[in-house]
Amino acid sequence: MSQPSITTTSTHSGELPIGADGKPLKPCCACPETKKVRDRCIFDKGEENCKEYIDNHLKCMRDLGFKI
């Protein structure tokens, strides 16, 4: 009996991008550089003052193929 194929719709292709370790990259672990800067800004200044950092992180995620 074969296992059913599992797909994800979290990316445009339906497949997660592959990380440096060869494993599928999860959204929570993607773009750590932009995520860290975004989170620090939100923590220090509030979300309303961090649009540039939020947009940079979203662009990074989209460039990897995530639909966000």
- Pick out the residues of the known binding site: 28-29
Residues at the annotated binding site for Cu cation? 28-29
Contacts of 24 (CB under 8 A, 6+ apart): 15, 16, 17, 18
**Alpha-carbon gap, residue 58 to 30, rounded angstroms:** 10
DSSP-derived secondary structure letter, 53: H
